[in-house]
């Protein structure tokens, strides 16, 4: 075989490898693009993402959830009130606020896939609730359960009380406090706690342990860090129950606090 033929074969091989890499890279980009647009809402003809009844219906249908017209209306009113209040009070990120609110609602409603809400007598605490996610959507879905929203910022607490008043939500109480000191002056312990966008598991689980009944449930929203954070938990105190997938690399971890 001549040096020329060897050179040609090498060139063809490199060319084939280059094409293969390009195809794989393109496929990965398409998968990422599909993932980004996996959310159920749609932009209008001008490329704007608007919060309206159709978007809320898409979210409820995508979870999916059986819902009354009144529930859909309240979900819509809730997002619109938060959007308006967010101009003066930083309840959620002000960057792409419509998308942030739709994502927050969508993620919150996925908690409904966990069977704990079937018991109407449960008490539920949302730690670091911010703009009320996931506490208010859960309260709207399950009006018979007792919901407590906890946040350390007074401005957010005042906004949440206004939201609950305007929406006529009667199964919610709002507390201005920090989770790590709440147990010092409250005798109440809860059946369920939720923690979304607060910090690493290992940092907030010591607070939760003082606020949750033995055998109670902790739900926390996590991304790619879920596995590594879960491995750091004390197996004598926490048992992993399930991981509810929302979109790729994003889900709800369900833990039970052991007796």
Determine which helix (DSSP H) or strand (DSSP E) holds 102, and give its type and residue range: helix 97-109
Q: Which of 119-133 are b and which e, b meaning 16 or more Cβ less than 10 Å from the residue's Cβ?
A: eeebbbbbbbbbbbb
Tokens, residue 117:
């809400």
Q: Read off the pLDDT of residues 130-173 as tens digits, 9 standing for 90 and up.
A: 999 999 999 999 999 999 999 999 999 999 999 999 999 999 99
Q: Is the pLDDT of residue 11 over 70?
A: no
Number of residues assigned to the chain: 259
Mean pLDDT for 191-197 is 95
Tokens, residue 30:
């398409």
The answer to whether 248 and 219 are in contact (CB under 8 A) is: no
- Nearest 5 degrees, angle CA 91-CA 144-CA 213? 80
> For residue 42, what pLDDT is reported?
84
Q: Read off the pLDDT of residues 55-96 as tens digits, 9 standing for 90 and up.
A: 999 999 999 998 889 999 999 999 999 999 999 999 998 888
Task: Please give the share of the chain, as a percent, with pLDDT higher than 90.
Answer: 72
Residue 19 banded pLDDT, cuts 50, 70, 90? very low
The residue among 155, 100, 115, 105 whose CA lies nearest residue 135 is: 105
> For residue 14, what pLDDT is reported?
52
Q: Strands 123-127 and 190-196: what pairing?
A: parallel
Determine which helix (DSSP H) or strand (DSSP E) holds 133, and give its type and residue range: none
Rounded CA-CA distance 40/55 in Å is: 8
Angle between helical axes of 97-109 and 69-85 (0-180°, round to 10): 140
pTM above 0.95, yes or no: no
> For residue 185, what pLDDT is reported?
84
Q: Read off the pLDDT of residues 202-228 as tens digits, 9 standing for 90 and up.
A: 999 999 999 999 999 999 999 999 999
Other C-beta atoms lying within 10 Å of the C-beta of residue 89: 16
**Rg, Å, the chain Cα set:** 23
Tokens, residue 176:
């201005």
- Cα separation values, 66 from 60, 62, 141, 171, Å: 8, 11, 10, 20
> For residue 28, what pLDDT is reported?
37
Mean pLDDT for 121-126 is 96
> For residue 227, what pLDDT is reported?
93
Residue 35 banded pLDDT, cuts 50, 70, 90? very low
Q: Read off the pLDDT of residues 163-186 as tens digits, 9 standing for 90 and up.
A: 999 999 999 999 999 999 998 888
């Amino acid at each position: 075989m001549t040096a020329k033929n060897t050179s040609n074969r090498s060139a063809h091989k490199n060319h084939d490898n280059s094409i293969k890499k390009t195809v794989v890279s393109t496929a990965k980009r398409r998968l990422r693009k599909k993932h980004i647009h996996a959310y159920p809402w749609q932009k209008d003809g001008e490329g704007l993402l608007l919060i309206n009844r159709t978007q809320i219906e898409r979210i409820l249908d995508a979870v999916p959830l059986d819902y009354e017209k009144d529930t859909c209306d309240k979900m819509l009113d809730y997002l619109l009130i938060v959007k308006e209040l967010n101009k003066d009070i930083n309840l959620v990120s002000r960057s792409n606020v419509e998308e942030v609110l739709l994502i927050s609602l969508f993620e919150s409603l996925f908690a409904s896939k966990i069977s704990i809400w079937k018991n109407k007598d449960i008490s539920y605490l949302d730690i670091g609730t911010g703009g009320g996610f996931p506490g208010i959507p859960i309260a709207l879905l399950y009006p018979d359960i007792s919901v407590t929203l906890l946040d350390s910022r007074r401005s957010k607490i005042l906004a949440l009380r206004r939201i609950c008043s305007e929406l006529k939500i009667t199964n919610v109480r709002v507390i201005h406090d920090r989770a790590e000191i709440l147990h010092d002056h409250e005798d109440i312990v809860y059946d369920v706690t939720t923690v979304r966008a607060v910090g690493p598991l290992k940092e907030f689980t010591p607070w939760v342990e003082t606020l949750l009944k033995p055998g109670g449930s902790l739900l926390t929203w996590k991304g790619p860090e879920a596995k590594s954070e879960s491995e750091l938990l004390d197996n004598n105190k926490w048992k992993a129950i399930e991981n509810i997938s929302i979109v790729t690399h994003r889900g709800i971890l369900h833990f039970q606090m052991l007796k």
